[in-house]
Structure 1
Amino acid sequence: METTGARRTLTCLLLTWGVTRLLLLLFVFKVYVFPGPDVTSDVSAIYQGWYDVLRTGTFPLDDVTWQYPPAAALAILSPALLPGLDYASAFFVLAFLADLAVLALLVYAGLRPGRRLRGAWVWVAGVPLLGPTVYARYDVMVVTVAVAALLAGSRHPRLMGALAGFAAMLKVWPAMLLLGSRARGSWAAAAVTVSGLAAAFAVTMPGAFAFVTFQRDRGTEVESLGSLVFHVARHHGWPGEVLLNYGSVEFLGPWVNIVSTAALALTGMAFGWLLLWRLLATRFEAHTMADAAFVAVLMFTTTSRVISPQYMVWLVGLAAVCLGFRASRMAAPAALVLAACFVTVLEFPLWFAHVVASDPLGVTLIAVRNGLLVLATVAAARVLWRETVPRPEPAHVPGQAAHAQEAPASS
């Protein structure tokens, strides 16, 4: 009976994945047009432009929109693996295959003892909630490597570290996957991988680390937590404006640098909390590494100066790994993330014009989406702390026990 139930669940899972992913492909190939701005334009214009530059053996040195670690060049160049297709079509197919690879990893892990398929369901449901943006950005490729790293976990620490290091060189956030690892081998493997890739790119391709400066100069993007200050301020005479800047739509004008600095300070405080957790945590289970990575990336995303829609796929992937463990208690934060994904597709691309205009609908969507992220972050951090950090013993007051023993005698 259990085998029959598992087969039915797996069949339903695969059918749901197939139907939803077919819809995503129909949208990115424009068989059907998804409402709002064209999310595929980044692939055909920006990515393909980078592709043409990278093929010459150098990074886009004069393009401030290139804000990625050097191994991101591999993702941008990957459509060359499918020479029979134009660049955009090849990219969409590879994004689809990366999505399929994540599903395969989660299903394989979910069928092992002590695991479950609920994590795979999170992935199947979460990706289409974000709309076609998932297939029009290379983030889904990064998530594939990150999920593989977490699933390697404590059983293969060196492999986990190497994969985390490689993923971090694709996009910085996967470095936080190592937070919950206690194996020195994983940290060593990550360091060797990062060092080797950094040296190889620095020697072979000029401008490998120009992205550091470009990232430093970013402002406050209109979808970020800090942007709510200016969305409201625009209705009270704030003289700034909204413009495309450093590859995203940002607020420019008075006080923007102060809000951006405050966002960086919040990120610093979040890392401080994570460091304190790492020093005090003593109870590490099989799922702790995934839970810690989920909390860390939630904190990084929520406090960031930029919360682009594709960032949400990071959280969906990590939440899926967490819920693949029967012992994980991250169900409520994962549900909040899925709700935030649905609101995200409403604010971008569906009603992005309202967000840019800071009208009541746009402000409400940003407030609700970011509010859900804040709630998910607090809830996940609370779960992680309570499950891993031992509670302090109650202070012992001298003479209290003796007094307690004498009390019945005096009565």
Structure 2
Amino acid sequence: MNRLRVTSGPVHALAALWLTTRGLMLWLLVHDSAPVLGGGSVSREVWRLYFHWYGVLAHGSFPTHDTLWQYPPGAGAVLLAPGLLPWLTYFQAFVALTLAVDALVTTALTRAGSRAGRSLLGAALWTGGLPLLLQLPLARYDVQVTALAVLSLLALGRSPRAGGVFAALGALVKVWPALVLLGTPRGRQTRGTWAWAAAAGTVSFALFAVPFRHPLSFLREQGGRGVQIESLGGTALNLARHLGWPGQARYQFGAVEMVGPYVRAVATASLALTALSFALLVLWRARARCWSEATPFDAALCAVLLFTVTSRVISPQYMIWLVGLAAVCLTSRHTSQRPVAALVLAATALSTLVFPMRYGDVIDGTWAGCVLMLARNGILAAAAVLSFVRLWRTSRPNEKTMKTREPQPDSDRLPERALSVS
């Protein structure tokens, strides 16, 4: 049995860092109207858009014919949750709950890192990395969905059932947490985890479908998304404006997207790259032979990185997902993703320069805006490639290593050392 190590000093330091940085994030949120902080555009999404959806949901229906509603039904639970604090305004309650979930993630990462053979680097990465996005994490519900993915991964080694349930709940809020189950070891653990995820997802969806009307309305609007200006394709088109491309940036479907010739071709190419990424991940899983305690963590970060980089949309809040998954990787001393985590931090810092600080330059397609986007997305692309390469290598030991290991039966609990899986 793993025992918690005596780490009171580092834990107290993490607590102090969390209180300091979250206090600063709150201060920035209060002063959100400053031009350098986005002129109020960050907080506006909560008190205007989320609050509007709250009113629709409170009347027993998911939004319909709303091009901005592009989320699975589980998002409704997050948006309704501020109603549990009626003595606060909707905005205040939303921020308070987001901070509470943030504290939960920090605590879970700290507990995981305090066990024998583990590391507190993950908790430190989350605590210090999230504030790189300034006030943005407090005004989006991506902290909540990231918490479900983090809890799923941390639970896998001890309770595959809980890991599957948390992943299913996360997928019902935003689809991507389903990817965190990609790296579960083949055999009984995978069958159990995926079965519990499927069952929990089905039951949870039914709980939304019965009392609420139009639970699948998001599918109609999701298909209309174009090429967001911050995506890889959007960056290429923005650079093409300097070479005479006649397109422009326009706000539609809840984001600033590129419109003009060849945009549809770029969107199709993005979808093709996403399909290729999925094929590579399936190939990795089919060829992988060795699992360590860190393999599910590393595979989750790699999968979400690949899907993020090839997406038609790379909103700044997506970095919250990557910081959370990188933090989970760093709780294990066996992770292969340490350099990837460093690249994620660098991309997160650049994302803040992109939005909200220099978003006008990005929309106008100035050279400064283009260089910022090229740097941010270039780092993300490099991180995705490096992540996959390192995941592949650590799951395919050399012949000499294989000879020293004997196949072992499937286990519901991951051992500390790597397993040879037939």
Pick aligned residue for 1:115 from 92, 114, 118? 118
Pick aligned residue for 1:380 from 368, 372, 387? 387
Pick aligned residue for 1:188 from 188, 191, 195? 195
Q: Which stretch shows the higher mean deviation, 31-40 or 213-222?
A: 31-40
- Structure 2 letter corresponding to 1:344: S
TM-score of the aligned structures, taking structure 2 as reference length: 0.90
Structure 1 gaps of 5+ residues are 394-411
- Over 3 Å counting, the alpha-carbon distance change for 1:31 and 1:233 in structure 2 is closer
- Over 3 Å counting, the alpha-carbon distance change for 1:309 and 1:110 in structure 2 is same
Q: Which stretch shows the higher mean deviation, 48-57 or 14-23?
A: 14-23
- Over 3 Å counting, the alpha-carbon distance change for 1:37 and 1:152 in structure 2 is same
- Aligned: 1:254 with 2:261: yes
Corresponding position of 1:88: 91
- Aligned: 1:358 with 2:365: yes
Identity of aligned residues (%): 44
Answer yes or no: is the 8 Å Cα contact 1:180–1:289 preserved in 2: yes
Structure 2 gaps of 5+ residues are 401-422
Cα distance per residue 1:25-78 (max 9 Å; x no partner): 112233884622420000011100000000000000021111111010000111
Answer yes or no: is the 8 Å Cα contact 1:218–1:246 preserved in 2: yes
Q: 1:4 offset after TM fit, Å? A: 11
Q: 1:214 offset after TM fit, Å? A: 1.3
- What secondary structure does 1:250 align onto? strand
Pick aligned residue for 1:342 from 330, 338, 349? 349
Cα distance per residue 1:106-164 (max 9 Å; x no partner): 01111111111000011011100011111100000111111111000122001100110
Q: Aligned partners of 2:93, 2:70: CA distance in 1, in Å? A: 23
- Over 3 Å counting, the alpha-carbon distance change for 1:110 and 1:32 in structure 2 is farther
- What secondary structure does 1:155 align onto? coil
Q: 1:367 offset after TM fit, Å? A: 0.3
- Over 3 Å counting, the alpha-carbon distance change for 1:303 and 1:31 in structure 2 is closer
Answer yes or no: is the 8 Å Cα contact 2:5–2:114 preserved in 1: no
Corresponding position of 2:15: 14
- What secondary structure does 2:7 align onto? helix
- Structure 2 letter corresponding to 1:100: A
Q: Aligned partners of 1:13, 1:66: CA distance in 2, in Å? A: 37
Pick aligned residue for 2:206 from 178, 199, 207? 199
- Structure 1 letter corresponding to 2:181: L
Corresponding position of 2:24: 23
Q: Aligned partners of 1:171, 1:312: CA distance in 2, in Å? A: 14
Corresponding position of 1:139: 142
Q: Aligned partners of 2:37, 2:19: CA distance in 1, in Å? A: 22
- What secondary structure does 2:246 align onto? coil
- What secondary structure does 1:244 align onto? strand
Q: Which stretch shows the higher mean deviation, 213-222 or 42-51?
A: 213-222
Corresponding position of 1:406: none
Corresponding position of 2:57: 54
- Structure 2 letter corresponding to 1:41: R
Q: Aligned partners of 1:171, 1:257: CA distance in 2, in Å? A: 25
Cα distance per residue 1:360-396 (max 9 Å; x no partner): 1100110000011011111111111001124579xxx
Corresponding position of 2:156: 153
The 5 A counterparts of 1:198-347 are 198-347=205-354
Q: 1:351 offset after TM fit, Å? A: 0.4
- What secondary structure does 1:40 align onto? helix
Q: Aligned partners of 2:54, 2:112: CA distance in 1, in Å? A: 35
Q: Which has the larger radius of gyration?
A: 1
Q: Aligned partners of 1:200, 1:31: CA distance in 2, in Å? A: 37
* Length, aligned pairs only: 391
- Structure 2 letter corresponding to 1:157: P
Q: Aligned partners of 1:229, 1:294: CA distance in 2, in Å? A: 25
Answer yes or no: is the 8 Å Cα contact 1:240–1:254 preserved in 2: yes
Q: 1:200 offset after TM fit, Å? A: 2.7
Answer yes or no: is the 8 Å Cα contact 2:62–2:215 preserved in 1: yes
- Structure 1 letter corresponding to 2:56: V
- What secondary structure does 1:68 align onto? coil
- What secondary structure does 2:293 align onto? coil
Answer yes or no: is the 8 Å Cα contact 1:149–1:163 preserved in 2: yes
Q: Which stretch shows the higher mean deviation, 370-379 or 23-32?
A: 23-32
Cα distance per residue 1:307-363 (max 9 Å; x no partner): 001000000000000000011121100000000000000000000000001101100
Q: Aligned partners of 1:219, 1:37: CA distance in 2, in Å? A: 25
Please, what is the CA RMSD of the aligned residues?
1.6
Answer yes or no: is the 8 Å Cα contact 2:33–2:39 preserved in 1: no
Q: 1:213 offset after TM fit, Å? A: 2.1
- What secondary structure does 2:236 align onto? helix
Q: 1:83 offset after TM fit, Å? A: 0.7
Cα distance per residue 1:270-304 (max 9 Å; x no partner): 00000000111110111111110000000011111
Q: Aligned partners of 1:137, 1:265: CA distance in 2, in Å? A: 29
- Structure 2 letter corresponding to 1:113: A
- Structure 2 letter corresponding to 1:87: Y
TM-score of the aligned structures, taking structure 1 as reference length: 0.92
Answer yes or no: is the 8 Å Cα contact 1:277–1:389 preserved in 2: no
Q: Aligned partners of 2:181, 2:108: CA distance in 1, in Å? A: 19
Pick aligned residue for 1:35 from 17, 34, 37? 37
